Amino acid sequence: MLVVRMWREISEECRDPHFGLLLGEQIGQIPFSVMGHLVAASPDLRHGARRAIQYYRVVNDAHPIFFDETSDGHGVIWCSPRGAGYDLPHHPLEFAWAWLAVFGRKLLGEDAWLDKVTFEHAAPADLSHHERVFRCPMEFNAPRYELRVCRAVLDTPNQSADPHLADILESHIRHLLKQLPENPKFSARVRQSLAREIPHGRGTIEEVARGLHLSVRSLQRHLHDEGTSFNDVFDAVRRDLALAYLRNAALSIGEVACILGFSDQSAFHRAFTRWMGVTPGAWRRSGA
């Protein structure tokens, strides 16, 4: 992925451990790209955040970002690149968070609009730059990257709101999205996790959610938004693994049932017949 390689190479060449943060601070003084203008034209931060998350791929597809509202009245913009399958340095995350912090400050006219900021990486020796940029409590070595704001801030009207301009920008961004390669769905991340976990006797919804740095509720919601459920994805992965293992003549049907976590061979037979319309033995003999 080009953007990942770019950030990695810059991080290796640059001697400043804060360069991503400082760049985000400078860029935050302006809307920065069509996405920033769309956020600024939105009626409030809640609408702006939801639009930014929906169209985020236009500016960066290295790590998806999510927006949730919690039961205690907070909005949380968050991401976690740990399960992405590549090593992403912390600089682009600090760039994004710094840009959001500074741009939000200008947009809302509020000096300290953030409740809390968290980072997955360790704290630097010098926190003065972070304190200047974020102006709120910070946590390092956290489970994920977060920007947390209270509901009152989400409802604050944007001083630059412009519904007509927002519609024009949104139409343009949709056009840009159509030019991009198809983005892997969230369910694909769940499938990848299950494919790794099931053969090792794991793969509960709690284990998968923990591996993706999500709550169970958030995982279920994201799957629901894609028209599926954890049970459906689990069942599909189990079926695909069963077909792959049955093609290995060295494995008995009983061994395949055990690897896939079935209580016994008859339970595997029932599930396989439901999937394929034939028993595992008949499917194997057919050479499919």
With vertex at residue 103, the alpha carbon angle to CA 50 and CA 68, rounded to the nearest 5 degrees, is: 25
- Give kind and range of the element (H or E) at residue 77: strand 74-79
The neighbour count for residue 146, using CB atoms within 10 Å, is 22
Q: What is the pLDDT of residue 269?
A: 94
Q: What is the pLDDT of residue 85?
A: 47
Pairing status of strand 74-79 against strand 66-69 = antiparallel
Stretches where the chain sits below pLDDT 50 are 83, 85
Q: What is the pLDDT of residue 271?
A: 94
Q: What is the pLDDT of residue 61?
A: 67
| Residue type, position 168, single letter | I
Q: What is the pLDDT of residues 210-243, one digit of tens each?
A: 888 788 988 998 899 888 999 999 999 999 999 8
Q: What is the DSSP letter of 75?
A: E
Model-level pTM?
0.63
Torsion of CA 238, 241, 243, 248, to 10 degrees: -140
Q: What is the pLDDT of residue 2?
A: 59
* Distance between CA atoms of residues 104 and 40, nearest Å: 9
Burial 8-26 (b: 16+ CB within 10 A, else e): beebeeeeeebbbbbbbbe
